[in-house]
Structure 1
């Protein structure tokens, strides 16, 4: 199963290290593969350094693709975390 979630970064500091860490921790709770896509580049969302390497600024459009047996639960948890972080 595959699930996709798209959003625009509203945080004035963009997707910084603290947020990257919290997203990676949330994704790591699931067995599915999590990828973050930005500006034609794709990284493993479970990798904090990979996420930081994208240098995602405010107003960037991102997509997250989750593939695996627990994709639905994973995307739901990640969507909730993004809302909690006001990303």
Structure 2
């Protein structure tokens, strides 16, 4: 399961939104990945997500694999939309 989002926050995906995303998906048992510019990291790792340096207008993919993958992707997407971090592509 995966969904794509365009980052609309003028600061890109900086510390605060990264923390919100990591906190949102950590409770899920599925493996949750964030992919940007051909590189994937564990979305449960704030350092991994921050290391990608995702700018405004960057296109990211949130994907998950496991027993609660759909719920994990939906939760991450809800945070992105509700917090004004990005829009679904």
TM range (shorter): over 0.9
Q: Deviations over 1:7-65 (max 9, x none)?
A: 11000000001110110011101000011100111110000000000000000011011
Q: Within 5 A, what are the aligned runs for 1:37-48? A: 37-48=35-46
Q: Runs in 1 of length 4+ with deviation above 4 angstroms?
A: none
* C-alpha displacement of 1:75: 1.2
Corresponding residue pairs, total:
85
TM-score by length of 1: 0.94
TM-score by length of 2: 0.92
Q: Which residue of 2 aligns with 1:30?
A: 28
* C-alpha displacement of 1:83: 0.8
Structure 2, gaps ≥5 residues long: none
Structure 1, gaps ≥5 residues long: none
RMSD, matched Cα: 0.7
* C-alpha displacement of 1:74: 1.0
Q: Are residues 1:63 and 2:61 paired?
A: yes
